[in-house]
Every structure is written in structure tokens, then in C-alpha cells.
């Protein structure tokens, strides 16, 4: 005998009562019944089964009399399951009451980003997702923060902007290449775009190399 609970839904009940030829579901149900399995179902099971059977009738798959018989059978089975579910709910309620005895219990609205009508402007950004990780390495990844707080009781403008610059680019590469640029700036006149002078540079370099070789 199994003492664990099974939760069934409307699909199983509808197949059980609306399709007598569905031996697979019926055999499974009989196994549960023989094994004394404890069944539970959501409270919306009655409405879901009734709606499904109504659709069967409007689609011409079942007659009105067949729907009535199937609905009676479904409600009879669902009632037994519902009693089991109600017993489980009462047991959990009693356990919850016992665990919370002597403790303050408050009720709060569902988390909604602090506003009940959020828009796309309030969604998480890449900075928001990366903030916890960047905070752990704030010594290497300093974050610049610009905040315009709201003013007055009915503020019309407020802004928050964060920026995490590339430390290596700002503190290493940019100063390095800026220094190289300053060093080579006097030679910028050599690159003027005149092809004949470029050829002259090549000839002069070849003559210098030849002279150095022949000395």
C-alpha cells in the first residue's frame, strides 16, 4: 500500500468519464483504487471538467444525455478526491498555525519593483544584473554614479546613471598611446601623402644602407 499523495487534473477525469474505451486511464485508476492511493485535486476541477464536457457536446462528440451521465460520474469521483484534498489542506493549515504560534505574522503585497504599474523604463538593465559582481571588485572596477534626486511632493524629474569605466583602458592604454603620440608628433610632417617624396625616402634609405655597407 502506498501512502503518498497523488494530484490529478481535469484531463484525467474527463478521459475517465467521457471515453469508456480508454482502457489505459481506467486501468490506472483501478490500480490507484486497489492500492488505496490518496488522491487530491485543485478546487477548479469541477469547473474545468464541466467546461470540457460542454465543449464535447458543442463539438458533437457527445450527446446531451451522455454529457449528463459523464458529469455525474465525474462529480462523484471528484467529490471523493476533493474530500481527500480538503483533509490535506486542513492538516497543512493546522501545521502552519502551530508553527506560527507566538510569532508576528504580517501580509504584504506581491513584489512589484516598488510600483504597481511598471513600464519598460523600470526594467532591469545590464548594470543592475552586473552590480552584485562589480561590487565585489569595486577596488578594481570603480563605478561612477550620478543621481538627480526627486524634489518636492510631486516631482517631475529624477535620474540615476551609473558607469563602470574600463580601468585598463583609462589608466594604462590611453596614457601609453597618448605618450607615444606626443613623442612621434614632430615626425607627422613626414607623412604628407606625396608619392614622389615617399619614393625619395626609399631611395635615400637605400643609398644610406649602401654607403654603410661599403665603408
More confident: 201 or 116 = 201
Task: Report the C-alpha gap between 4 and 2 in whole angstroms.
Answer: 6
In the prediction, which pLDDT does 162 show? 84
Cα distance between residue 70 and residue 42, in whole Å: 19
What is the chain's mean pLDDT, rounded? 76
pTM above 0.85, yes or no: no
DSSP annotation of 178? H
The residue ranges of every structural domain in the chain are: 5-99, 127-165, 169-214
Q: How confident is the model at residue 77 (pLDDT cuts 50, 70, 90)?
A: low
Q: How confident is the model at residue 192 (pLDDT cuts 50, 70, 90)?
A: confident
Lowest mean pLDDT among 74-78, 98-102, 140-144, 163-167: 74-78
pLDDT at 90 exceeding the cut of 80: no
d(CA 45, CA 8): 9
User: Across residues 53-73, what is the average pLDDT?
Assistant: 73
Predicted pLDDT of residue 83: 55
Lookup: cell for 77:
469521483
What is the Cα–Cα distance from 172 to 137, expressed in whole angstroms? 18
DSSP state of 146: E
Which CATH code for domain 5-99?
3.40.50.1010
Structure letter (DSSP) for residue 189: G
pLDDT in tens, 132-191: 888 888 777 888 888 888 887 777 788 888 888 888 888 889 999 999 989 988 887 777
| Burial class of residue 143 (count of CB atoms within 10 Å of its CB; 0-12, 13-18, 19+) | middle
Structure-block grid coordinates of residue 138: 569595486
Q: What is the rounded distance in angstroms from the CA atom of residue 82 to the CA atom of residue 38?
A: 11
pLDDT at 109: 58
Mean pLDDT, residues 113-140 taken together: 74
Residue 69 in grid coordinates: 451521465
Contact 62, 56 (CB under 8 A): yes
- Report the pLDDT value the prediction gives residue 130, as an integer from 0 to 100: 84
Residues 49-60 have a mean pLDDT of 75
Amino acid at each position: 500500500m502506498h501512502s503518498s499523495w497523488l494530484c490529478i487534473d481535469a484531463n484525467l477525469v474527463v478521459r475517465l468519464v467521457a471515453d469508456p474505451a480508454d482502457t489505459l486511464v481506467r486501468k490506472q485508476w483501478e490500480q490507484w483504487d486497489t492500492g488505496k492511493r490518496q488522491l487530491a485535486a485543485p478546487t477548479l476541477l469541477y469547473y474545468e471538467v464541466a467546461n470540457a464536457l460542454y465543449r464535447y457536446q458543442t463539438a458533437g462528440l457527445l450527446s446531451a444525455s451522455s454529457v449528463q451521465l459523464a458529469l455525474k460520474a465525474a462529480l462523484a469521483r471528484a467529490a471523493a478526491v476533493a474530500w481527500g484534498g480538503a483533509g490535506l489542506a486542513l492538516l497543512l493549515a493546522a501545521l502552519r498555525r502551530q508553527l506560527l504560534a507566538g510569532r508576528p505574522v504580517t501580509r504584504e503585497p506581491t513584489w512589484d519593483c516598488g510600483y504597481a504599474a511598471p513600464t519598460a523604463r523600470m526594467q532591469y538593465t545590464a548594470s543592475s544584473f552586473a552590480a552584485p559582481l562589480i561590487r565585489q571588485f569595486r577596488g578594481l572596477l570603480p563605478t561612477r554614479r550620478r543621481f538627480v534626486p526627486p524634489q518636492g511632493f510631486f516631482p517631475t524629474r529624477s535620474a540615476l546613471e551609473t558607469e563602470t569605466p574600463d580601468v585598463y583602458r583609462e589608466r594604462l592604454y590611453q596614457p601609453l598611446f597618448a605618450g607615444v603620440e606626443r613623442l612621434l608628433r614632430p615626425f607627422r610632417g613626414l607623412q604628407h601623402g606625396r608619392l614622389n617624396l615617399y619614393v625619395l625616402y626609399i631611395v635615400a634609405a637605400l643609398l644610406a644602407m649602401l654607403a654603410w655597407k661599403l665603408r
